[in-house]
Amino acid sequence: MAGVNDIDILFGAAEIAARVDAIARAIAAAEPRDLLVVVILKGSFVFAADLVRALDRAGVDARVDFITLASYGTATESSGRVTVVHDLAEPVAGQPVLLIDDILESGRTLAFARDLLYGRGAPRVRTCVLLDKSARRLAPIEPDYVGFRIGNDFVVGYGLDLAHRFRGLPYIGVIRAVEK
């Protein structure tokens, strides 16, 4: 457990769960039934696992595929260059897609993924992010579905890491101090 670290909780497990259910209901009301959910790894895996189960409760039996993207830079700041580390398993031509990411910051990662899917023939690409840091946007992209809007703090937990740590925390928080 990461309990020896000093982390301020921004969103607790119950609050996240309620928000995920609300997003799933909004998606179910607006998106086609034959939805393909494309999960951008790694950071979105916990959010996506909860969201697809919430979608099922809301009546959407979504298909799921994964793509691993990397944008190189320092530990807490992404660079401009996005690369595909592991690609999707299936073609997306003709599929309405819901693209899931953990955090929308500059927007480069999500814009890259959206453009890639449109380029491969997806007729509709909607976007869903757990967290939106809109003050940091550089690419012209706004998410269709958002969990929470946050400021510039670097956050961890619920799938989000700092140097590969803290992904398993049940809440989203800001690190005050890290014990090795």
Using CB under 6 A as the criterion, which residues of the chain lie in contact with ligand 5GP when the complex forms?
A: 43, 71, 78, 101-109, 154-156, 160-162
Please identify, using beta-carbon distances, which residue of 47 and 92 lies nearer to ligand 5GP: 47
In terms of Cα–Cα distance, which of 65, 63, 83 is closest to 73?
A: 83
Q: How far is the CB of 19 from ligand 5GP (least distance, A)?
A: 17
Q: Which is nearer to Mg ion, 60 or 103 (CB)?
A: 103
8 A C-beta contact, residue 70 and residue 85: yes
Residue facing ligand 5GP at closest CB distance: 106
Question: Which stretches within the chain are classed as H helix?
Answer: 13-30, 45-57, 108-119
CB of 25 to ligand 5GP, least distance (A): 24
The answer to whether 11 and 171 are in contact (CB under 8 A) is yes
Summarize as ranges the residues that interact with Mg ion (CB under 5 A): 43
CB 28 within 8 A of CB 56: no
Nearer to ligand 5GP, 43 or 147 (CB): 43
Which of the choices ligand 5GP, Mg ion, none does residue 160 contact, using the CB cut-off of 5 to 8 A by kind? ligand 5GP
β-pair partners for 66:
39
Which of 28, 100 has the CB closer to Mg ion?
100
User: Helix, strand or coil for residue 136?
Assistant: helix
